[in-house]
């Protein structure tokens, strides 16, 4: 399919699909580990790379390839490498492009497990990481060294939905001879396309909105063919592989991505506006609100505010901030208490004791994650029912 002839909503349904001789209208699911060759010569050609084709599902599978091609079309990328999880996508990207002694500048507002990967695991292999403010380009500039290889950001961030200027950070990275990597999990290509704004690589946790129903784990790394070649090489050897079944589920998820993200964003905006009017809330974080510190920038880079809303709960007399948050969470009957996001079902979590619990208290506070912070991934239920479920916040 010629990409430029079609709108993104059409590409989400049609791009990447390949039919077998049976003429199926839905993508085929190839649940097999290996593929046969017509001859020894063909096997040698496939393994040597002189003939394209499938070899072994650790690194070549038709269903996974269809998912990769569809997502690449939506992100405007030359190539996509699908992985087993979002975290394995980050690992594959860093391991493929960095070596011992290299330096990464990362936002201190990234997902807690990403902090752990950089600080506690990759650091043991001689990778140096400096954490800086997501929203202050000067800190990025000052952090650059002669060995800086990657800039790594999530925008909007998890859980405070902070937004960085992708074009500005891309310029600083490129001036330093580094690549800008953007985790686009919160927005997906339906809301934001970092490559078009100057980023070099996009990371996804397909587990979230790309699936959309909380069923499967998966990740993806996208960018130019030159940058994806070593990422693919790492996957081929290390085996951080997306299963064919999960790729098939994600293909189905991508078909409804645009209408789902629109609905998530509409619900999230309505809930965020309501939360700002509640006496039990001291502050709301949502890029679609005028009160958000990077609202104008977010509306330049994104088509909507997305589906994530975070807010500070105001404790009642005699309560600690954590007690107030836990009381609110425990009082819900509709919203699911889980740290996952991107589901059709709304989810609620206390970041300080879940997603960022392994980050030091000092690092959490530096990232703005207080004991009174709540994150809601707004789903597809009627927003009035979500408001009713947060009854402890009502005036």
Are residue 53 and residue 192 in the same domain, yes or no?
yes
Domain final position from 186, 220, 255: 255
Structure tokens at 9: 């909503």
Over residues 160-198, the pLDDT tens digits come to 999 999 999 999 999 999 999 999 999 999 999 999 999
Are residue 194 and residue 55 in the same domain, yes or no?
yes
Phi-psi map region of 239: left, alpha, beta (phi>0 left; psi -120 to 50 alpha): left
Are residue 301 and residue 388 in the same domain, yes or no?
yes
Over residues 303-340, the pLDDT tens digits come to 999 999 999 999 999 999 999 999 999 999 999 999 99
Are residue 61 and residue 158 in the same domain, yes or no?
yes
Residues 126-152, mean pLDDT to the nearest whole number: 97
Are residue 167 and residue 86 in the same domain, yes or no?
yes
Residue 221: its H or E element:
strand 219-223
Assess contact for 323 and 357: CB atoms under 8 A.
Answer: no
Structure tokens at 198: 């100057």
Are residue 205 and residue 265 in the same domain, yes or no?
no
pLDDT classification of 395: cutoffs 50, 70, 90: low
Are residue 277 and residue 247 in the same domain, yes or no?
no
Q: Is 281 helix (H, G, I), strand (E, B) or coil?
A: strand
The predicted structure's pLDDT at residue 365 = 82
86 versus 392: the higher-pLDDT residue is 86
CATH of residue 126's domain is 3.40.640.10
Domain range for 82: 3-255
Structure tokens at 179: 């690549």
User: Exposure of 7 by Cβ count < 10 A (0-12 exposed, 13-18 middle, 19+ buried)?
Assistant: exposed
Residue 48 pLDDT greater than 60, yes or no: yes
Neighbouring C-beta atoms of residue 40, cutoff 10 Å: 8
The predicted structure's pLDDT at residue 96 = 98
The predicted structure's pLDDT at residue 393 = 83
The predicted structure's pLDDT at residue 366 = 79
Q: Of 383, 365, 186, which is closest to residue 275 (Cα–Cα)?
A: 383
364 versus 371: the higher-pLDDT residue is 371
Pairing of strands 336-337, 347-349: parallel
The predicted structure's pLDDT at residue 127 = 96
Count the alpha carbons within 13 Å of 194 in the hemisphere toward its beta carbon: 32
The predicted structure's pLDDT at residue 4 = 55
Residues 104-118, mean pLDDT to the nearest whole number: 92
Q: How far is CA 285 from CA 153, 199, 218, in A?
A: 18, 25, 27
pLDDT classification of 367: cutoffs 50, 70, 90: confident
Q: How far is CA 199 from CA 147, 158, 162, 165, 171, in A?
A: 19, 19, 17, 11, 9
Are residue 273 and residue 332 in the same domain, yes or no?
yes
The predicted structure's pLDDT at residue 391 = 87
User: Exposure of 341 by Cβ count < 10 A (0-12 exposed, 13-18 middle, 19+ buried)?
Assistant: buried
How many structural domains compose the chain?
A: 2
**pLDDT, mean over the chain:** 95
Domain final position from 222, 255, 288: 255
Specify the residue for token string 């039919």: 19
Are residue 271 and residue 251 in the same domain, yes or no?
no
What sign does the CA torsion over 192, 195, 198, 200 have?
positive
Are residue 288 and residue 370 in the same domain, yes or no?
yes
Are residue 218 and residue 286 in the same domain, yes or no?
no
Over residues 261-280, the pLDDT tens digits come to 999 999 999 999 999 999 99
Domain final position from 235, 255, 275: 255
Assess contact for 268 and 307: CB atoms under 8 A.
Answer: yes
Are residue 267 and residue 201 in the same domain, yes or no?
no
């Amino acid at each position: 399919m010629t990409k430029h002839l079609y709108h993104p909503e059409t590409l989400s349904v049609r791009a990447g699909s390949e039919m077998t001789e049976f003429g199926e209208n839905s993508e085929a699911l190839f649940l097999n580990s290996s593929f046969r060759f017509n001859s020894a010569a063909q096997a040698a050609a496939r393994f040597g790379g002189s003939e394209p084709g499938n070899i072994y599902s650790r690194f070549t599978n038709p269903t996974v390839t269809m998912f990769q091609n569809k997502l690449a079309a939506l992100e405007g990328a030359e190539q996509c490498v699908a992985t087993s999880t979002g975290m394995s996508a980050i690992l594959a990207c860093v391991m493929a492009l960095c070596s011992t002694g290299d330096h990464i500048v990362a936002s201190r507002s990234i997902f807690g497990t990403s902090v752990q990967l950089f600080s506690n695991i990759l650091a043991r292999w001689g990778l140096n990481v400096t954490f800086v403010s997501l929203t202050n380009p000067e800190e990025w500039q000052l952090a650059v060294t002669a060995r800086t290889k990657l800039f790594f950001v999530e925008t909007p961030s998890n859980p405070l939905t902070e937004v960085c200027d992708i074009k500005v950070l891309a310029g600083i990275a490129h001036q330093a001879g580094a690549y800008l990597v953007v985790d686009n999990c919160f927005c997906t290509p339906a809301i934001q396309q970092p490559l078009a704004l100057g980023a070099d690589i996009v990371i996804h946790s397909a587990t979230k909105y790309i699936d959309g129903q909380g069923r499967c784990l998966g990740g993806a790394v996208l960018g130019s063919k030159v940058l994806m070649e070593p990422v693919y090489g790492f996957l081929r050897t290390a085996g951080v592989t997306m299963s064919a079944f999960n790729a098939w589920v994600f293909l189905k998820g991508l078909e409804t991505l645009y209408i789902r993200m629109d609905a998530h964003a509409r619900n999230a905006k309505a809930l965020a506006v309501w939360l700002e009017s509640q006496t039990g809330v001291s502050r709301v974080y949502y890029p679609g609100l005028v009160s958000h510190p990077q609202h104008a920038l977010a509306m330049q880079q994104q088509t909507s505010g997305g589906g994530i809303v975070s807010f500070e709960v105001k404790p009642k007399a005699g309560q600690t901030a954590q007690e107030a948050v836990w009381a609110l969470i425990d009082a819900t009957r509709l919203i699911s208490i889980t740290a996952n996001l991107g589901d059709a079902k709304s989810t609620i979590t206390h970041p300080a004791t879940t997603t960022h619990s392994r980050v030091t208290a000092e690092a959490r506070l530096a990232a703005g994650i207080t004991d009174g912070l709540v994150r809601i991934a707004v789903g597809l239920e009627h927003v009035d029912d979500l408001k009713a479920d947060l009854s402890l916040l009502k005036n």
